[in-house]
Chains A and B, each alone.
Chain A
Amino acid sequence: MDDLDEDYDNVPATQGRGEQEDAESDDEQQDWRILPAMGSNRRSLPKRGEKEYEPTGSSSDRNNLDESRQAMYIALNGERRHTSKVHISGIWYPHLQKAKVLVARGPHFKSIGKADSNGVIWLLPEEVIYLMERGSMSLYNAHGDTNISLQGCYAACLGACHGHERYLVYAHLKRLGFIVQRAASFDGYVGEETVQKLTSSRARKLWNFLVQKFASFCIGLRCVFAKKIPSFGPIVCGGVWRSYDSIYKALQIIPFYSHRGSIATRKSTTAPFRVAYNIWKPRPSFKKSSPGEPDFRVVVVNAQKDKMPTLAQVDALFATLPTAHGSTSTSQQRLRDGYKNVIIGVVDCGIISFVKFGDVSFGDERIFEKKAANSTTTKYRPTKK
Chain B
Amino acid sequence: MVEDDAAELICISVIDGEYFIFDIDAVKRVRNDHHVAGILVGTLPQVPQQSVFLGLPVQLMPEEAALLVQQGVAHIIDEALSHGTILAVDENNIDEAAAKLKINELESTESESQGALASYSTPTVSSTDKYPLPESSVSAIYDTPRFHIYKYLHQKGYFISPGLRFGSQFLAYPGDPLRYHSHYLVRGLGYDEEFPLLELVGSGRLGTGVKKAWMVGARLRNDYQDNFAVLRPSQTKDGEGSESNDDFVSFCIEWAGFG
Contact = CB atoms under 8 A, between A and B. Distances in A.
Interface stretch (A66-74, A237-245, A265-273, A292-300): A66-74
Chain A interface mostly: mixed
Nearest to A33: B178
Interface stretch (B49-57, B217-225, B239-247): B49-57
Interface of A: 1-2, 4-5, 23, 26-28, 30, 32, 35, 38-39, 42, 45-46, 48, 51-55, 61, 64-65, 68-69, 72-73, 75-85, 87, 89, 91-95, 100, 102, 130, 132-156, 158-159, 161, 163-164, 168, 171-172, 175-177, 303, 346-351, 353
Interface in B77-108: 79-80, 82-83, 86-89, 91, 94, 96, 98-103, 106-107
A140 B119 CA distance: 16
Given A32-B53, A68-B178, A134 B48 contact: yes
A173 B22 CA distance: 22
- 4 residue pairs, one from A and one from B, having the closest CB atoms: A144-B99, A350-B39, A348-B164, A144-B102
B174 A35 contact: no
A164 B122 contact: no
A55 B178 CA distance: 12
Contact of B79 (A23, A72, A155, A171): A155
Contact of B80 (A82, A100, A137, A159): A159
B55 A154 contact: no
Contacts of A159: 15-16, 80
A5 B257 contact: yes
A80 B53 contact: no
Given A132-B122, A148-B86, A155-B82, A55 B13 contact: no
Given A27-B181, A143-B99, A155 B91 contact: no
Given A150-B57, A175-B51, A2 B103 contact: no
Contact of A133 (B42, B59, B209): B42
Interface string B141-178: 00000000000000000000111111000000011111
A79 B18 contact: no
Interface string B17-60: 11010101001100110000011111111111111110111011
Contacts, number: 277
A142 B94 contact: yes
B152 to A, nearest CB: 18
A178 B106 CA distance: 34
B79 A151 contact: yes
A135 B45 contact: yes
Given A54-B174, A149-B126, A171 B99 contact: no
B259 interface: yes
A138 B121 CA distance: 7
A198 B61 CA distance: 40
A66 B79 CA distance: 32
B124 A142 contact: no
A87 B120 contact: yes
**Of residues B32, B52, B79, B180, which shows the largest number of chain A Cβ atoms within 10 Å of its Cβ?**
B52
A151 B80 contact: no
B43 A134 contact: yes
A51 B159 CA distance: 15
A69 B176 contact: yes
B86 A80 contact: no
Given A1-B259, A69-B32, A91-B99, A151 B124 contact: yes
Contact of B44 (A65, A75, A144, A177): A75
B164 A149 contact: no
Contact of A154 (B15, B38, B99, B106): B15
Contacts of A93: 89, 94
A156 B181 contact: no
Given A78-B46, A91-B99, 12 more contacts: A42-B47, A64-B179, A75-B46, A81-B119, A83-B118, A83-B119, A94-B87, A139-B122, A140-B99, A147-B122, A175-B48, A353-B165
A64 to B, nearest CB: 6
B125 interface: yes
A48 B87 CA distance: 41
B63 to A, nearest CB: 9
Chain B CB count within 10 A is highest, among A81, A89, A100, A135, for A135
Contact of A158 (B16, B94, B124): B16
A144 B49 contact: no
B232 interface: no
B140 interface: no
Contacts of A147: 106, 122-123
